Amino acid sequence: MVKKPLYLKIDAELLQRFKKHVLDKHGKFHGAFAVEVENALRRYLEEGSSAQNTQHTNPSSKTHSRLDRIIGWLHERGYVRQFTWKDWELAVISTVGSDPRTIRKYLELALKLGRIRHVVGNVWEFAE
């Protein structure tokens, strides 16, 4: 894969929020910023092509949005590396719903999408 430099001007507040997201997720900025920009562009293009192929709202984008809210809830409360099952449960209950199947569904989805990984026992960590 050939990498190309990208120079652009964007809203300062949006850039600051994105930089904070990268630092919270990776714990570092250099190297991680480009990866997250690429991921954001890929996700945008994939969602755009999905929307063109369907006339109704894409349920998977709602699910991804909910997963982002769950992970964001954990980050807002200081969980930047690892969390326990109870932390995950509280995050899902606070953002999406309290049904045990829902809690399990979003944990499995986060694992499947590579957003988190299992460490040991009831401990998971955010994927870098």
Q: Where do the domains of the chain lie?
A: 11-56, 59-128
Instruction: Give 51-106 pLDDT, tens digit per residue.
Output: 555 444 445 788 898 999 999 999 999 999 999 999 999 999 999 999 999 999 99
Nearest to 75 by CA among 23, 33, 113: 23
Pick the CATH number of 59-128 from 3.40.50.261, 1.10.10.10, 2.120.10.30, 1.10.579.10: 1.10.10.10
Which residues 6+ apart lie within 8 Å of 122 measured at CB?
Answer: 84, 85, 86
**pLDDT at position 56:** 47
Q: What percent of the chain has pLDDT over 90?
A: 45
- Per-residue pLDDT, averaged over 15-41, amounts to 87
pLDDT at 100: 93
CA dihedral 66, 71, 86, 79 (to 10 degrees): -160
pLDDT tens-digit readout, 66-77: 999 999 999 999
User: Does the pTM exceed 0.75?
Assistant: no
Read off the tokens for 3: 């990498």
pLDDT at 124: 95
